[in-house]
Amino acid sequence: MKRAVRPPAVAGTFYEGAPARLSATVGRLLAAHTSPRVPPDRFRALLLPHAGHVYSGGIAAAGVASVAWPSTVLLLGPNHHGTGAAAALSPFAAWRTPLGDVPANTAVAADLLSLCREIREDEAAHRDEHSLEVILPFLQKSVSDLSIVCVSIGEPDLSLCLAVGDAVAGAVRRAEERGERVAIVVSSDLNHYLPRTQNRVKDDRALTALKGGEPQAFFEAILGRDRISMCGVLPATALLRALEVLGAAPPRIVAQGDSGDAFGDLSRVVGYAAVLWEAAAGTEGAA
């Protein structure tokens, strides 16, 4: 089922292309966060930003450093380019960054395909997409024996998002039955390109809807009522559906900021947050 290695698409632009410099930069960002980590049997999911590391790397690092990771990570991201399948599973045997190759978890990938007919293996959807790639160096520096499953969602269809969410929950449960814990990561920035004060209002509305935990209400708030340009609304909707099935405690915001923090331009910012979900009481230690 798996073939070839996906080469990095945005190394040298979104993040450092030289291995030593990338390792040092990501290591420094992670080392800035030393609070106690949520253990793997309590950690369920994270939402992380996917801008260039100079902009959102500190927020991503805060999220990644807040937990102790299991070895398997299922990543859900948006499809910015609109190419390929509406719900696309990466067919690559591994994803490469300057820090090395990260193998695919073929068992979890096979479970997703068997549980959701809407999910299709599709190389085109992932070939040039940056939203999952920019997170990988943080995982590579943090997770022992890392293996990944990468899914992008590009069609603004609520039923599709719910179907993917059901499949994610089913695949996670199957893995837990095998004794394997799976962390879920959703890649998303928040609102785009308003002055900071106005942008923050929309960011906070998005986070309030996200914390509400109801996938349809979230989907409709972001794309309809509040018209928030949150690029990961589709994978986040799928995540909320998966967490309805799996059970999760109310989330907490680990870190929040915007692109203006990098160079001081507050006239047209993009919002970022790291949001953490722990397992619901009584479901810890399922793996």
- pLDDT over threshold 60, residue 284: no
Which is more confident, 36 or 270? Answer: 270
Is the entire prediction scored with pTM above 0.85?
Answer: yes
Integer Cα distance of 155 and 144 in angstroms: 34
The answer to whether position 284 is within a domain reads: no
- pLDDT over threshold 70, residue 282: no
Residue 177, Cβ neighbours under 10 Å: how many?
A: 10
**Residue carrying the six token digits 């979230």:** 218
Mean pLDDT score across all residues of the chain:
96
* Cβ 115 vs Cβ 171: under 8 Å: yes
For 40, the domain range is 3-278
What's the pLDDT tens digit per position in 53-109? 999 999 999 999 999 999 999 999 999 999 999 999 999 999 999 999 999 999 999
Sort 245 into a burial class: Cβ within 10 Å, 0-12 / 13-18 / 19+: middle
The answer to whether position 283 is within a domain reads: no
Domain count, the chain: 1
Residue 281: pLDDT band with limits 50, 70, 90: confident
Please report, for the domain that includes residue 236, its CATH number. Answer: 3.40.830.10
What's the pLDDT tens digit per position in 155-179? 999 999 999 999 999 999 999 999 9
Tokens of 221: 């708030």
Q: What percent of the chain has pLDDT over 90?
A: 94
